[in-house]
C-alpha cells in the first residue's frame, strides 16, 4: 500500500498514474482520482465533525449553569441545538466510515511505486537477464527427465500420491527423500552462518494477515482457505514471518531483523501454468527455506543485493550454474518495488528455470500490517520488508539431480552436502 500523501499532491498523483501505466494496469487509473476526491470528502467531514464536537462540549457545559439560574427556556434551547449537532455529527461520521472503507479498498489495489531502473515490460517474457554464474554445460550423455532420475533410485511415487491426494502431489522415498531433507538442512545452516535467526512459523494464518502480505489477485490464485474458519494455509513462510510483526512498534536498535524460516507450502496454482502431471516442477505442496528481512528504508537496497547474492552462493556451492533475471514492470506483483529471479541451469532442457525469487517491497507490506519502528528522535516510520527463497525442494532437486548426474547413473553429492547425507559421496541406483 502506498502513502496516501502521494495522491493528495498533484505531482504525486502524476507519479502514481505513471507507475500504473508502467505496470500495464490502465484500468486502475480512474481509482487514483476517486481516492483523491474521497480523501477530500473524508477530511472535510472529519474537520467539521471535530468542530461540532468541540462546540457541543462547550454548549453542554453551559446547560448546568443555566439550570441553576432557572433559565429553563434557554437551557432547553441549547439542548435542542445539541441534539441537532449530535445528529449532524452522526451523519458526518457515517460519511467518514463509508469513504474510509472505500479509500482502503482502492489503496489495497493501487500498486506500489516501482524502482526507477526496473525494465518496462508486459509479462515475464520481457524479464531481463543481467548476469550468469557458472558454466551452462551440456554433458556428453543423455540426461533423463527428472522424475525418471528419481524413479531410477525408487525415489518417487506419483501414482500412489494421485490415488491418495490427486494430481499435484508426490511421495518421495529413500535416498531422494533423504536428499530432499539434506538440502533443506544445509540451506538452514547456510543462512544461520550468515547471521539469520532460524524460525519455524505457523502454517496457517488469519485473513487480515494474508491481506497484509499479498495482493487480492495473488490470494485468490494461491491460497487454500480452511472451510468454516478464518484461516488460510500459507503459500510461503514469508506470509507468517512478516505478519509476526503486525501492529508492532519496533525499536530502531532492533533493526535489521533477519530471519530464515522453514515451512511446508501449499498453493492452488490457479492460472496459465497449471499443475505438472508427471514431475515435481509445479505442485500443490512443497517445502521451503526462506529468508526475510525487516530493516530501515535507507538499508533495504543494500539488503536486496545481499539476499539475491546469497542464493547465487548457495546454488554454486551445490555445483549448479545459475543466472540472475531482473523482473520487468508487468511481472512485478502489486506490492513489489523490485524483484529478481535466480534461475538454475537445466542441462537436459538446455535452458534456465526459476528456483529463487528475491523481492524488495519497501513499506508496502508494513503499511498494510502497521509495522513501524521508533527512531531515536522519537519519529515513527514504517519498516521496509524483503524476502527471498533460500531453497525450495523438490523443485530445486530437478537442477541438483541434472547437474550432479554421472554417466553411470549415479548422482554425485557435493562436499558441502555430505555431512547431511551421512557422509555419502554419491547415491547409486
CATH of the domain at 423: 3.30.930.10
Strands 249-251 and 372-374: parallel
Distance CA 199, CA 152 (A): 35
Compute, in degrees rounded to 10, the torsion defined by CA atoms 262, 313, 130, 389: 0
Residues 6+ away with beta carbon under 8 Å from 218: 333
Same domain, 304 and 423: yes
Domain contains 421: yes
Distance CA 173, CA 156 (A): 6
Same domain, 200 and 307: yes
The pLDDT, as a whole number, for residue 270 is 62
Same domain, 88 and 165: no
**Domain stops at, among 77, 107, 137:** 107
- Asked if the bond preceding 181 is cis, omega within 30° of 0, the reply is no
Number of domains in the chain: 2
3-state DSSP assignment of residue 274: coil
Domain contains 196: yes
Same domain, 142 and 239: yes
CATH code for position 99: 1.10.287.40
The pLDDT, as a whole number, for residue 72 is 79
Domain contains 117: no
Domain contains 153: yes
Domain contains 78: yes
Domain contains 119: no
Distance CA 78, CA 76 (A): 5
215 sits in the region (left: phi over 0; alpha: psi -120 to 50; else beta) called: beta
Which ranges in 329-422 belong to alpha helices (H)? 364-369, 395-404
Residues 6+ away with beta carbon under 8 Å from 311: 322, 342, 355, 356, 358, 388, 389, 390
Distance CA 287, CA 264 (A): 4
Q: How far is CA 279 from the centre of its chain?
A: 26
DSSP 123: S
Same domain, 132 and 252: yes
Q: Which of 364, 370, 362 is nearest to 246 (CA)?
A: 370
The pLDDT, as a whole number, for residue 271 is 57
Q: Which of 190, 361, 177, 395 is nearest to 285 (CA)?
A: 395
Q: 285-314: per-residue pLDDT in tens?
A: 999 999 999 999 999 999 999 999 999 999
**Domain stops at, among 107, 141, 166:** 107
Same domain, 310 and 390: yes
**Domain stops at, among 60, 79, 107:** 107
Same domain, 74 and 164: no
Domain contains 378: yes
- pLDDT < 50 stretches in the chain: none
The pLDDT, as a whole number, for residue 275 is 65
Distance CA 310, CA 291 (A): 10
Residues of the domain holding 28: 5-107
Same domain, 252 and 395: yes
Q: Which of 289, 339, 287, 344 is nearest to 315 (CA)?
A: 344
**C-alpha torsion sign, points 249, 254, 235, 165:** negative
Same domain, 233 and 317: yes
Same domain, 296 and 389: yes
Would you say 289 and 241 are in contact if contact means Cβ atoms under 8 Å apart?
no
Same domain, 134 and 103: no
Q: 191-219: per-residue pLDDT in tens?
A: 999 999 999 999 999 999 999 998 777 78
Same domain, 171 and 85: no
C-alpha cell at 402: 541434472
Domain contains 382: yes
Would you say 386 and 296 are in contact if contact means Cβ atoms under 8 Å apart?
no
Distance CA 66, CA 273 (A): 76
Amino acid at each position: 500500500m502506498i502513502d496516501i500523501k502521494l495522491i493528495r499532491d498533484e505531482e504525486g498523483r502524476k507519479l502514481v498514474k505513471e507507475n500504473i501505466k508502467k505496470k500495464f494496469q490502465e484500468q486502475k487509473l480512474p481509482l487514483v482520482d476517486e481516492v483523491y476526491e474521497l480523501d477530500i470528502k473524508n477530511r472535510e467531514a472529519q474537520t467539521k465533525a471535530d468542530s461540532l464536537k468541540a462546540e457541543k462540549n462547550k454548549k453542554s457545559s453551559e446547560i448546568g449553569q443555566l439550570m441553576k439560574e432557572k433559565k429553563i427556556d434557554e437551557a432547553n434551547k441549547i439542548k435542542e441545538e445539541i441534539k441537532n449537532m449530535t445528529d449532524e455529527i452522526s451523519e458526518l461520521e457515517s460519511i467518514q466510515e463509508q469513504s474510509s472503507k472505500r479509500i482502503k479498498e482502492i489503496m489495497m489495489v493501487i500498486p506500489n511505486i516501482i524502482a526507477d531502473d526496473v525494465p518496462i515490460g508486459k509479462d515475464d517474457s520481457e524479464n531481463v537477464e543481467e548476469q550468469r554464474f557458472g558454466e551452462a554445460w551440456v554433458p556428453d550423455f543423455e540426461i533423463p527427465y527428472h522424475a525418471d532420475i528419481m524413479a531410477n533410485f525408487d525415489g518417487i511415487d506419483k501414482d500412489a500420491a494421485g490415488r491418495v491426494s490427486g494430481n499435484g502431489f508426490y511421495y518421495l522415498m529413500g535416498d531422494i527423500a533423504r536428499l530432499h531433507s539434506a538440502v533443506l538442512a544445509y540451506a538452514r545452516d547456510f543462512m544461520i552462518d550468515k547471521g539469520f535467526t532460524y524460525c519455524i512459523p505457523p502454517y496457517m494464518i488469519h485473513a487480515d494477515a494474508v491481506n497484509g502480505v499479498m495482493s487480492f489477485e495473488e490470494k485468490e490464485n494461491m491460497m487454500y482457505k480452511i472451510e468454516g474458519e478464518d484461516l488460510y494455509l500459507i503459500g510461503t513462510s514469508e506470509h507468517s514471518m512478516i505478519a509476526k510483526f503486525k501492529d508492532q512498534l519496533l525499536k530502531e536498535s532492533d533493526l535489521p531483523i533477519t530471519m530464515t524460516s522453514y515451512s511446508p507450502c501449499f498453493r492452488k496454482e490457479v492460472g496459465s501454468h497449471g499443475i505438472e502431471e508427471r514431475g515435481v516442477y509445479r505442485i500443490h505442496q512443497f517445502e521451503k527455506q526462506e529468508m526475510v528481512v525487516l530493516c530501515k528504508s535507507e538499508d533495504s537496497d543494500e539488503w536486496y543485493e545481499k539476499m539475491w547474492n546469497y542464493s547465487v552462493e548457495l546454488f554454486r556451492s551445490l555445483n549448479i550454474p545459475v543466472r540472475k533475471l531482473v523482473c520487468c514492470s508487468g511481472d512485478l506483483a502489486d506490492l513489489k518495488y523490485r524483484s529478481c529471479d535466480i534461475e538454475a541451469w537445466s542441462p537436459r532442457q538446455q535452458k534456465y528455470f526459476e528456483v529463487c525469487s528475491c523481492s524488495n517491497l519497501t513499506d508496502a507490506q508494513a503499511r498494510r500490517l502497521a509495522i513501524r519502528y521508533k527512531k531515536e528522535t522519537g519519529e515513527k516510520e514504517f519498516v521496509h520488508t524483503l524476502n527471498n527463497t533460500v531453497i525450495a525442494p523438490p523443485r530445486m532437486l530437478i537442477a541438483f539431480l541434472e547437474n550432479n548426474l554421472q554417466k553411470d547413473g549415479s548422482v554425485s553429492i557435493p562436499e558441502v552436502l555430505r555431512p547431511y547425507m551421512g557422509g555419502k559421496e554419491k547415491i547409486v541406483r
